[in-house]
Structure 1
Amino acid sequence: MKKIEKDQIDQEVFRLYDAYAHNKMERREFLEKLGVYAVGSITLGSLLSAVMPNYQDTIQVPEDDPRLRTETISYSSPEGGGNIAAQLSRPKDAAGKLPGIVVVHENRGLNPHIADVARRAALAGFVTIAPDALSPIGGYPGNDDDGRAMQRERDRDEMLNDFIAAFYHLHTHPTCSGDVGVVGFCFGGWVSNMMAVKVPELKAAVPFYGGQPSADMVSHIKAPLLLHYAGLDERVNAGWPAYEEALKEHDKDYTAHMYPGVNHGFHNDSTARYDKPAAELAWNRTIAFFKDHLA
C-alpha cells in the first residue's frame, strides 16, 4: 500500500478521526464517512493506515534500552481501581535520588506510545511512572479500539484517583527526591489539570490538549502549569478562554502555548496527526519546565 503524506489528507479526515477516537462516532460510521475522501490514488486503506496508530515503527526508546532501568510494578489505589500496574523507568547510571514525573495516558490505556514517552522523560533525567488505568479490568488489550471500549467501562473520577495514587507512590519511592510533576495527553491532559487542583504537593503540571477543570476549582491550584494546545483542536480549545480567565483571576502561575495549524494529538508520532516541529518544541519546553520546577 502506497503511503500518503499528511498534506494529502483533507482536514475533515482528521476531524472525523478525532470524533471516532473520542467515542463520538462508531467505527462503521467513521469508515463510511472516511470513504468520501478516498479518491484517485488515495484509497480508504491508505487513509486508515495514515490516521490509525503505527506503534511498531515509531518507538523512540525501546523497553530494553540499555541506558534505562525499566520495570513493571504495581501500587495500591484504594480510592480508585485497587491494584494498578505501571511502568517505572529511570536512568541506569543515576547517582542518588531523582525528581519524578507521572505520565498519564490517553483514553485507551497505557499503549506503547505513552510508555515510550515515559521512557523518553526518564532519559532526560527523571524517574517516571506510567500507570495503566485499565489494570483493574485486564490492562491495555494490545490495540486502541478495544482499549477505548475498556476505558469507557471505568469511572473517570476513579481513574483520576489511580493517577493521584501514582503520585503518592512515586513521591515516597526510594529512587525519587519527592519532587514530582505530571504530564498527560488528551484524557491525560484533563487528569494533569485535575491533579493540579487536587494534589497540593504537586510541583508542576503539563497538560497536552487536555480538558479543563471548572472555574470554581481553579483557586485550589498550587502547582505551576505549562499548557499545550493545538490550534485546530476546536473541541478542547472551546474550554480554554474560561480556564485562562479563572487562572488570571486567581493569579495562578501558568504559561500557555497555542501551536497554530496542528491537530489534537500533534505530539503523538504514531499517526499522521503528528507535527514534528510542534511536537519537538512542546517536548523541549516540557523537559525544561520540569527541570526548572522539580529539584
Structure 2
Amino acid sequence: MTTESAGANQNDRTVNEIEIPQEAFDWYDEYAHGDIDRRTFLTRLASLSVAGLTVSAIGGALIPDYAKAEQVSFNDPAIKATYEGFVSPDGHGEGSGYLVQPTTLPASGIAPCVLVIHENRGLNPYIKDVARRLAMKGFLAFAPDALFPLGGYPGNDDDGRAMQKSLDKNKIEQDMTAAALWLKSHEKSSGKLGVVGFCFGGYITNFLAASIPDKVDAAVPFYGTPAAPELTKNVKGPLLIHFAENDKRVNATWPEYEKTLKANSADYQAFEYAKAQHGFHNDSTSRYSPKDAELAWQRTIAFFKQHLA
C-alpha cells in the first residue's frame, strides 16, 4: 500500500481556527458506526479541555451538513436523474435507487455503468451527488437505497442508521447484488460494470468483487472492510482501494486482506492518504480532506475509464 500526502488534509481543518482533536474524530467514528450512542458521543466531547471548542462547535462540524455536499445540481442540463426500481428475489423482493445518466450519450447510445453504494445510513444527498458527478464524466450511475424496504432514507442520519441496522445484512447484500446485475443489463449500459462505495458501501464493493467477480469489471472501495474469508478467495480484481491513515478500525483488516489478494494473484492497487480521516471523501463534514478527496477521485475516474472502456 502506498502512503502519501496530497497536501493540506483533514487534520488541518479547524473550527473557530482551533484544530479538532483526533479523539473527537475517533469518537465520531464510533458513534457513526453504532458503537456508542449520541448521548455518549456528546458526553465525551464535553470532556475535551481545549480552549475555544464547545460541544456544539465540534459536534456540528463532524455531523454531516448535506447542504455542503452538492457539487453537481440535480437540474444540471448535462444529466438526467430518475428513481428506478429493480427486482431482488433473494433480498427484500424489490429495490429502488437513483439513476443518473448523461443527457448526451455516444453514438452507440450506451455508456459504461457504475454502481454507487452508500454508507450505513441510506441513500443520503452526498451519495446522490457522487452519482451525479459520475454521470458528468460520462458514466451511467445508479445509487440503490438499502432502506427502500422501510420507505427509503428518512432525511436524517440517526434514523437512517437505526433503520439500516434493523435490516437483515444478508438481504441488503442480495439487494445490492440485484442492483448491480440490473444496472449491468440496463438498455443504456455497455455491459461494463464498475462499483464504488464508501464505508459500509466500501464493504459492499469488496463483497461484490468477491461474490460476483465475473460481473464486476472494476471495483473502488473507499475505507471499506473486506468480505468474509470464504468469499475473498474469489477476488481477482481489478481493484483500486482507498484508505485513510487515521482509520484504525478499517486499516486493521488490511494486512490479512492483502495476503489473500496476493495469494489470488489479484489485480489491485491500494493508497493510504496521510493524516486523513475515515470518510475523507465526504464533503459534508469536517472529516473532509479536499486535496486527498480530489486526488482519490481523479484516480477513481481514471481507473474506471481504463477498465470500463
TM-score bucket of the superposed structures, by smaller chain? over 0.9
For 2:156 and 2:242, locate their aligned partners in 1 and report how far apart those are by CA, in whole Å: 26
Which of 240, 253, 260 is the aligned partner of 1:226? Answer: 240
Compared CA separation, residues 268 and 286, structure 1 to 2 (3 A): same
Structure 1 runs not aligned, ≥5 long: none
2:255 maps to what in 1?
241
For 1:218 and 1:168, locate their aligned partners in 2 and report how far apart those are by CA, in whole Å: 20
Compared CA separation, residues 291 and 7, structure 1 to 2 (3 A): farther
Structure 1 residue 50 corresponds to structure 2 residue 61:
yes
Which of 143, 146, 164 is the aligned partner of 1:133? Answer: 146
After the TM superposition, which parts of structure 1 deviate over 2 Å for at least 4 consecutive aligned residues?
A: 37-41, 213-219
Letter matched to residue 273 of structure 1: R
Q: Work out whether residues 236 and 261 of structure 2, in 8 Å CA contact, stay in contact via their aligned partners in 1.
A: no
1:183 maps to what in 2?
196
For 1:233 and 1:219, locate their aligned partners in 2 and report how far apart those are by CA, in whole Å: 25
1:286 maps to what in 2?
300
Q: How far off is 1:40 after superposition?
A: 3.3
Q: Bigger shift: 38-47 or 200-209?
A: 38-47
Structure 1 residue 102 corresponds to structure 2 residue 115:
yes
TM-score, normalised by the number of residues in structure 2:
0.92
Letter matched to residue 264 of structure 2: H
Q: Bigger shift: 242-251 or 217-226?
A: 217-226
Letter matched to residue 128 of structure 2: A
For 1:32 and 1:250, locate their aligned partners in 2 and report how far apart those are by CA, in whole Å: 46
Letter matched to residue 207 of structure 2: M
Q: How far off is 1:275 after superposition?
A: 0.5
2:77 maps to what in 1?
66
The alignment covers a number of residue pairs equal to 293
Q: Work out whether residues 188 and 207 of structure 1, in 8 Å CA contact, stay in contact via their aligned partners in 2.
A: yes
For 1:64 and 1:39, locate their aligned partners in 2 and report how far apart those are by CA, in whole Å: 43
- 1:152 partner SS: helix
Q: Work out whether residues 118 and 143 of structure 2, in 8 Å CA contact, stay in contact via their aligned partners in 1.
A: yes
For 1:48 and 1:145, locate their aligned partners in 2 and report how far apart those are by CA, in whole Å: 14
Structure 2 runs not aligned, ≥5 long: 1-13
Q: How far off is 1:216 after superposition?
A: 3.7
Q: Bigger shift: 215-224 or 263-272?
A: 215-224
Structure 1 residue 145 corresponds to structure 2 residue 120:
no
1:193 maps to what in 2?
206
For 1:174 and 1:51, locate their aligned partners in 2 and report how far apart those are by CA, in whole Å: 40
2:264 maps to what in 1?
250
Q: Bigger shift: 5-14 or 101-110?
A: 5-14
For 2:182 and 2:16, locate their aligned partners in 1 and report how far apart those are by CA, in whole Å: 43
Alignment of 1:8-23 (within 5 A): 8-23=19-34
Q: Work out whether residues 103 and 129 of structure 1, in 8 Å CA contact, stay in contact via their aligned partners in 2.
A: yes
For 2:30 and 2:16, locate their aligned partners in 1 and report how far apart those are by CA, in whole Å: 21
Letter matched to residue 295 of structure 2: L
For 2:16 and 2:249, locate their aligned partners in 1 and report how far apart those are by CA, in whole Å: 25
Letter matched to residue 99 of structure 2: L
Compared CA separation, residues 5 and 77, structure 1 to 2 (3 A): farther
Letter matched to residue 80 of structure 1: G
Q: How far off is 1:214 after superposition?
A: 3.5
Which of 121, 129, 132 is the aligned partner of 1:119? Answer: 132
Letter matched to residue 27 of structure 1: R
- 2:135 partner SS: helix
Alignment of 1:207-222 (within 5 A): 207-222=221-236
Identical counterparts, % of pairs: 48
Q: How far off is 1:45 after superposition?
A: 1.1
For 2:49 and 2:128, locate their aligned partners in 1 and report how far apart those are by CA, in whole Å: 33
Q: Work out whether residues 111 and 140 of structure 2, in 8 Å CA contact, stay in contact via their aligned partners in 1.
A: yes
Once the two structures are superposed, residues 67-122 of structure 1 have per-residue CA deviations (whole angstroms, 9 ceiling, x without a partner) of 10111111111111222121000111123200000000000000000110111011
